[in-house]
Amino acid sequence: MSIIVYILFSPSLIVFIAAETSSITLSQSLSYGKTLVSPSGIFELGFCNLGNPNKIYLGIWYKNIPLQNIVWVANGGNPIKDSFSILKLDSSGNLVLTHNNTVVWSTSSPEKAQNPVAELLDSGNLVIRDENEAKEDTYLWQSFDYPSNTMLSGMKVGWDIKRNLSTCLIAWKSDNDPTQGDLSWGITLHPYPDIYMMKGTKKYHRFGPWNGLRFSGMPLMKPNNPIYHYEFVSNQEVVYYRWSVKQTSSISKVVLNQTTLERQRYVWSGKSWILYEVMPEDNCDHYGVCGANTYCTTSALPICQCLKGFKPKTPEKWNSMDWSEGCIRKHPLSCQDKLNDGFVLVDGLKVPDTKDTFVNETIDLKQCRTKCLNNCSCMAYTNSNISGAGSGCVMWFGDLYDIKLYPVPENGQSLYIRLPASEIESIRHKKSKIIFITSVAATLGVVLAIYFVYKRNIADKPKKNENIERQLEDLDVPLFHLLTITTATNNFSLNNKIGQGGFGPVYKGKLVDGREIAVKRLSSSSGQGITEFTTEVKLIAKLQHRNLVRLLGCCFRGQEKLLVYEYMVNGSLDTFIFDKVKSKLLDWPQRFHIIFGIARGLLYLHQDSQLRIIHRDLKASNVLLDAKLNPKISDFGMARAFGGDQIEGNTNRVVGTYGYMAPEYAVDGLFSIKSDVFSFGILLLEIICGNKNRALCHRNQTLNLVGYAWTLWKEKNALQLIDSSIKDLCAIPEALRCIHVSLLCLQQYPEDRPTMTSVIQMLGSEMELVEPKEPGFFPRRISDEEKFSSNLNHKTSNDELTITSLTGR
């Protein structure tokens, strides 16, 4: 049988492909132009280059994925200059890569095989085994023990203690240079093992220890995740972590990226790699950013705070936001009399660095407390395993480093921090004082309310302005001088106007330091302007996420109410997807990237921010795009925040935009995280279709986009929804999955709609989806005559109708 050799060209890769075989034996070799292919055709091993034909590597890649698909390289630091190279097994059973009879790379198996065979498995693992060995999973050597920059499903990261072998990821210097960079990621063998991302010898990011359910610093790592199964094993012989996909059809990988200094999890959508998860995710994920005996939280300004009972070591530096020296105790511990010490409980934490710890899995929390109290060096303790009722004991000694406080307590875990009795009593006194003040406030509440209603009608505006300014200062929000803003925007020139929001125009500006800004100028004619202004400042000032627009500051002077944001060079999403020319700039992979980013931002608002935030006006014009077309949710003037477990509310004042509002909200004033999910479903359809929900999208003018989509879905003809400008190059299965998910989000009843956690899981996997029920939509479009005869305050921008006052039933 003849062997046909051909060349597969890719923008960054040239691979030589030959007849398919998955293994080589002592009598065989692999030369340039030939490959091994795993039994099911998933992975391929051979010689490749990364854009430079003078640098050739032995590597493994996904056989049928053309983009960013190399997952392992053998000779990353020692490339071959030409095609005169051979891979073969030597007599000892080791793989040897030679070039002109010079060894370039080889394996080092401690055991000699009688009948060795090298095989590429469907997992992407290159293994050497003895064919005489009865157990097929007994390997003399495997590439999974020596990973490159990529972690695959089933691969272990950790330690084989018996062999003193550490398995960790090491980043490439760049995408086209597999030379090892200085960024690594793996397990450190502390008494309480921890996972670190290291930059050289310095700690850069920490996962936190395994607590029986997840890593302490990975709140989204849920045990019931429908896509991934997580496993952590720690005993006398091995300590390792691995994950696997639950559905064999799913393709996922984790990549350590030297360029961005990130650990990135990707999911293959069928057309492109989708960024599913990134660590570090925010500033608080950078190791030790706040110094010793502190905690970091993105829901506060500044992000660094001293632990209870501690104060800044150097107040001058601390106040200038240099937190490197951390905090020290306000009062020393009473080690001579241990009974005078106690513990304060702090919930919702990523527990401290585990370098100086002691672990005892056999004792309970009460015994752990006693043991810690009897050791003068013990600074904190908690359960080592928080699953079930909690078990085991872990104690910390010395200063406490790299603690993160999560806005939602259940995302973290509890920590008991040692304090002297005087400090414990002080904390108790403060709590009692708060309870007393709360009681007094409740008693006087009605009187004060009546007084302020009266006072509001007679008080002069300067005092009102001073009150608002004082509130803003209390939030630690930078306050811009009005002259600074007018100068930056050329006195609010029409040439600088870049948009029109629900409560006024938006201007582009440039500060004297060169920073470009976007200034939202709340209209003085808006009856609700001050309310929306203070709401937006209070909410967004505490929000930090890559998919939320960042507030730089504000200005309140006289009639002027100004919000200053980071400038988004590509404007709002609606200017792209609803424009026949610009829509062609957003191909399907880019649209899917935008969809996923919006979903992540909304998930943060609903679940991971300090308060549960319901946006209430999610729409295409409120999604901004940065220079790389990354989406950022904006405009929080209509948002509502809840504490605790509250996820819904009702109102007599319905705000939002017709065409995006959930039925229960538009009709009855009932809003919840599920009403945001409904709006996301509308937005998802609009991104796919390129048409507005309230615009004509079919000859039958009695249907809006939702009704049209539902009709096509029932007719099994949903492909007609895809924007014609992207349809030819679209990943059809992925687009259909998005349409399916959108219809699940648009179901009539809130309880039927998924949460944003489920939405992200459904978008990022090939899990089976339930059939959607009929969506909530009005089958008859509101005519222009009806629209303008409505007795509502409204604005028209891009044919949208934003409701600012409507009585709910």
Tens digits of per-residue pLDDT, 16-51? 334 578 999 998 999 998 999 999 999 999 999 988
CA 287 – CA 42 distance, rounded (Å): 37
**pLDDT-based confidence at residue 693 (cuts at 50, 70, 90):** confident
Q: Are 476 and 301 in contact (CB under 8 A)?
A: yes
CA 613 – CA 620 distance, rounded (Å): 19
Tens digits of per-residue pLDDT, 246-263? 887 789 999 999 999 999
> What SS3 class is residue 707?
helix
Q: Can you give the pLDDT at residue 635?
A: 83
User: Which residues, 6 or more positions from 29, have their beta carbon under 8 angstroms from its beta carbon?
Assistant: 86, 87, 88
Tokens of 628: 């790389």
Q: Can you give the pLDDT at residue 753?
A: 93
> What SS3 class is residue 623?
strand
Identify the top-confidence range among 316-320, 562-566, 680-684: 680-684
Q: Can you give the pLDDT at residue 558?
A: 74
| β-bridge partners, 296 | 304, 404
- Mean pLDDT within 414-440: 69
Q: 145 an active-site residue? A: no
CA 416 – CA 349 distance, rounded (Å): 11
456 pLDDT exceeds 90? Answer: no
Q: Which ranges constitute the DSSP H helices of 636-698?
A: 663-668, 673-689
Scored b (16 or more CB within 10 A) or e, 609-646 reads bbbbbbbbbbbbbbbbbeeebbbbbbbbbbbbbeeeee
Distance from the Cα of residue 136 to its chain's centroid = 39
Q: Are 382 and 351 in contact (CB under 8 A)?
A: yes
**Residue 187 burial (C-beta neighbours within 10 Å; 0-12, 13-18, 19+):** buried
The mean of the pLDDT values for the chain is: 83
Tokens of 272: 């492109």
Torsions phi, psi for 229 (to 5 deg): -110, 130
Q: Would strands 560-566 and 551-557 be described as parallel, antiparallel, or unpaired?
A: antiparallel
User: Which residues, 6 or more positions from 727, have their beta carbon under 8 angstroms from its beta carbon?
Assistant: 719
Tens digits of per-residue pLDDT, 186-230? 999 999 999 999 999 999 999 999 999 999 999 878 777 778 899
Q: Can you give the pLDDT at residue 651?
A: 52
Q: Can you give the pLDDT at residue 521?
A: 87
Q: Can you give the pLDDT at residue 738?
A: 94
Q: What is the dihedral of CA 547, 734, 750, 798, to 10 degrees?
A: 60
319 pLDDT exceeds 90? Answer: no
Q: Are 318 and 393 in contact (CB under 8 A)?
A: no
Higher pLDDT, 544 or 431: 544
Q: Can you give the pLDDT at residue 59?
A: 96
Q: Can you give the pLDDT at residue 790?
A: 32
Percentage of the chain exceeding pLDDT 70 = 81
Q: Can you give the pLDDT at residue 540?
A: 73
Which domains are delineated in the chain? Answer: 1-144 (2.90.10.10), 147-281 (2.90.10), 284-426 (no CATH), 470-566 (3.30.200.20), 574-803 (1.10.510.10)
Amino acid at 736: L
724 pLDDT exceeds 90? Answer: no
Q: Can you give the pLDDT at residue 16?
A: 39
Torsions phi, psi for 5 (to 5 deg): -110, 130
**pLDDT-based confidence at residue 97 (cuts at 50, 70, 90):** very high
What's the per-residue H, E or C state across 759-806? HHHHHCCCCCCCCCCCECCCCCCCCHHHHHHCCCCCCEECCEEEECCC
Higher pLDDT, 207 or 408: 207
User: Which residues, 6 or more positions from 351, have their beta carbon under 8 angstroms from its beta carbon?
Assistant: 208, 209, 211, 216, 382, 394, 403, 413, 415
Work out the angle between the directed axes of helices 732-745 and 756-763 (0-180°, nearest 10).
170
Q: Can you give the pLDDT at residue 618?
A: 92
Report the number of secondary-structure helices (H) and strands (E) in the chain: 14, 50
CA 658 – CA 797 distance, rounded (Å): 12
- One of 194, 353, 617, 723 is an active-site residue; which one? 617
Amino acid at 153: S
CA 467 – CA 462 distance, rounded (Å): 9
Extract the runs of DSSP E, i.e. beta strands, from 211-315.
228-234, 238-245, 252-257, 262-268, 273-279, 294-296, 304-306, 310-312
User: How far is the CA of 747 from the CAs of 622, 678, 762, 776, 803, in angstroms?
Assistant: 23, 8, 16, 6, 22
Higher pLDDT, 408 or 696: 408
Distance from the Cα of residue 214 to its chain's centroid = 16
CA 291 – CA 278 distance, rounded (Å): 23
- Mean pLDDT within 386-390: 89
Q: Can you give the pLDDT at residue 66?
A: 84
| β-bridge partners, 255 | 150, 264
CA 681 – CA 669 distance, rounded (Å): 19
- Mean pLDDT within 587-611: 88
Identify the top-confidence range among 134-143, 393-402, 686-695: 393-402
Tens digits of per-residue pLDDT, 165-192? 999 999 999 999 999 999 999 999 999 9
Question: Quick check: bond before 754 cis, omega within 30?
Answer: no
Distance from the Cα of residue 81 to its chain's centroid = 41
Q: Can you give the pLDDT at residue 457?
A: 47
